[in-house]
C-alpha cells in the first residue's frame, strides 16, 4: 500500500469509527431514552421522537442496531490491513454506497413521516456520506495497474 493510500485508508477508518461511536450511542438511547444527550425536544429537532417512532425499527430490529452492524462491518473493511487486500475494494464501495442509500431513505423518513430531525442520526448520515467519499478517494489513489 502506498503512503498516500495508507493515509486515505486511515481517513475512511476514522470516519467509520466516528459513525460506529454515534451508532453505539443511538443503540443505547433506543433502549433507554433517559440517556438522551444534547438533543432538544422541539417540534423540529427531536431525537426521542425520531428514535422511538414506528419507523425506528425494521422487522423488530432497531435501525440504530442496523447502523451499528453497518459501521462494525465498515470498520473491518476500512482498517489498514483490509486496505492492502484489493479484493475487498468492491465490498467497501458496495457497503458505503448502500449506506448512503439507506441514509437518504432515513432522512426522507425523518422529514416527511416523523416530522422531526434527530441530530445524532444526522451525524450518522454525515459519517455515511463522508465514508463513501473516503472510500472513493482511497480507491482512486491506486494506479490502474495495481487494482
Q: What is the CATH number of the domain that holds 134?
A: 1.20.1440.130
Q: How many domains does the chain have?
A: 1
Q: How many helices (H) and strands (E) does the chain have?
A: 6, 2
> Containing domain of residue 109, as a range?
3-141
- SS3 call for 105: helix
Residue 67 lies in a domain: yes
In a domain, 147, yes or no: no
Q: Specify the pTM.
A: 0.85
- Among 69, 48, 43, smallest CA distance to 58 is for 69
**Mean pLDDT estimate for the chain:** 87
**Has residue 146 been placed in a domain?**
no
Domain for residue 39, yes or no?
A: yes
The reply to whether 109 falls in a domain is: yes
Q: What is the tens place of the pLDDT at every residue in 96-120?
A: 999 999 999 999 999 999 999 999 9
- Does residue 70 fall inside a structural domain? yes
Amino acid at each position: 500500500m502506498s503512503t498516500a493510500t495508507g493515509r486515505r485508508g486511515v481517513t475512511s477508518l476514522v470516519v467509520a469509527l466516528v459513525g460506529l461511536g454515534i451508532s453505539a450511542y443511538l443503540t443505547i438511547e433506543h433502549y433507554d431514552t433517559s440517556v438522551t444527550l444534547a438533543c432538544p425536544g422541539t417540534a423540529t429537532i427531536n431525537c426521542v421522537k425520531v428514535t422511538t417512532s414506528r419507523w425506528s425499527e425494521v422487522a423488530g430490529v432497531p435501525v440504530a442496531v442496523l447502523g451499528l452492524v453497518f459501521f462494525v462491518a465498515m470498520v473491518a473493511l476500512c482498517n489498514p490491513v483490509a486496505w492492502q487486500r484489493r479484493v475487498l475494494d468492491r465490498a467497501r464501495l458496495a457497503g458505503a454506497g448502500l449506506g448512503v442509500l439507506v441514509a437518504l431513505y432515513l432522512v426522507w423518513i425523518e422529514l416527511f413521516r416523523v416530522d422531526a430531525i434527530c441530530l445524532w442520526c444526522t451525524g450518522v448520515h454525515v459519517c455515511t456520506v463522508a465514508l463513501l467519499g473516503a472510500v472513493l478517494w482511497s480507491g482512486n489513489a491506486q494506479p490502474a495497474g495495481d487494482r
